[in-house]
Amino acid sequence: MDTIFRGFVEALRLIVELDRSLVEIVGLSLQVSGLALGLSVLLGVPLGVWLGMRRFRGQRLAVATIYTGMGLPPVVVGLVVYLLLSRQGPLGQLGWLFTPRAMVLTQTILSLPLVAGFTMTAINSVPPGLILQLRSLGATPTQVTLTLLYEARAGVLAAVVAGFGAIISEVGSVMIVGGNIAGKTRVLTTAIVLETRKGNFDLAIALGLILLGLTFTANWMLLHLQGRFESTR
């Protein structure tokens, strides 16, 4: 208990003093996970809508692949991306290894299936006759899609929340492909691992509390966004 209390005090001190390395670490965490989430939404929402609306040959396979992707172990993704980006690997030319780009790449791979999968489920939950009804009211294919997204908005938002939650708290892949280099690729989760190993439990707890606070704030903002959706109906 004592450690947690001291961690709490330490967290407050770091925040109040705007500790420079803390600001850097938080900034990079948000930047990497934010960018990865943005990419996942950009690709995953259309993919989820498409899978939710269309029926095609091989759909089961595609869905099973996405469901598997929803439970990918971050360390394994990190390892594979590491091998791809290492100097001898097929993408070694890029020189991305141990840079934030590599971290964005692994986190996108981790969150994309979550965003696509939950979006698909949300679209599937819209009554099947609705598409016909919308078309008969004169909707173009694009208008049908947008209306379905609107009807499924709570589920799509949950998809975004799930995608964010999975990567902001993830340590395995960013540790492997980022390398936890101070001032360069150190994020909150890798910093916590490091401080714990060094025995700086106060600092580790402080970083943990900041991570929790950050996740909470992000989710609260997303829910607020949903509330605004609700009130504009």
Partner 1 sequence: MSDSPLLLLQDVRHRYGERVVLNVPRLSVYAGELLALVGPSGAGKSTLLRLLNFLEAPTEGQVCFHGRPYTPATIPLAVRRRITTVFQHPLLLDMSVRRNVSYGLRLRGQKDGREQTEQALEAVGLQALADAAARTLSGGEAQRVALARALVLQPEVLLLDEPTANLDPANVRVIEEIVTAAIRERRMTIVLVTHNVWQARRLAHRVAFLFEGELLEVAPTERFFEAPQNPRTAAFLRGELVY
- Near partner 1 by CB under 8 A: residue from 4, 12, 76, 150: 150
Min separation Cβ 45 and partner 1, Å: 18
CB-nearer residue toward partner 1: 67 or 150: 150
Calpha distance 190→97 (Å, rounded): 16
Min separation Cβ 115 and partner 1, Å: 22
228 is a site residue for partner 1 (CB under 8 A): no
* Whole-number Cα distances in Å, 168 to 68, 105, 107, 161, 163: 20, 14, 9, 11, 9
- Near partner 1 by CB under 8 A: residue from 21, 140, 221, 224: 140
133 is a site residue for partner 1 (CB under 8 A): yes
135 is a site residue for partner 1 (CB under 8 A): yes
132 is a site residue for partner 1 (CB under 8 A): yes
- Near partner 1 by CB under 8 A: residue from 147, 196, 215, 219: 147
Residues 72-101 that bind partner 1 (CB under 8 A): none
User: Which span sits near partner 1 by CB under 8 A: 66-74, 90-98, 113-121, 129-137?
Assistant: 129-137
Q: Where are the alpha helices (DSSP H) in the chain?
A: 2-16, 20-53, 59-70, 74-85, 100-124, 130-136, 141-151, 153-168, 172-178, 188-198, 201-231
Residue pair 27/220 in contact by the 8 Å Cβ criterion: no
Residue pair 40/112 in contact by the 8 Å Cβ criterion: yes
54 is a site residue for partner 1 (CB under 8 A): no
Min separation Cβ 144 and partner 1, Å: 10
- Buried/exposed code over 79-97 (b: 16+ C-beta within 10 A; e: otherwise): bbbbbbbeeeeeeeeeebb
Helix (H) or strand (E) holding 17, with range, is none
Min separation Cβ 137 and partner 1, Å: 4
Calpha distance 111→34 (Å, rounded): 11
Shortest CA distance to 167 belongs to which of 108, 120, 83? 108
225 is a site residue for partner 1 (CB under 8 A): no
**Assigned token pair, 187:** 């994020």
Calpha distance 71→88 (Å, rounded): 28
User: Which span sits near partner 1 by CB under 8 A: 24-32, 89-97, 132-140, 175-183?
Assistant: 132-140
19 is a site residue for partner 1 (CB under 8 A): no
- What residue ranges bind partner 1 (CB under 8 A)? 127, 129-130, 132-133, 135-140, 143, 147, 150-151, 233
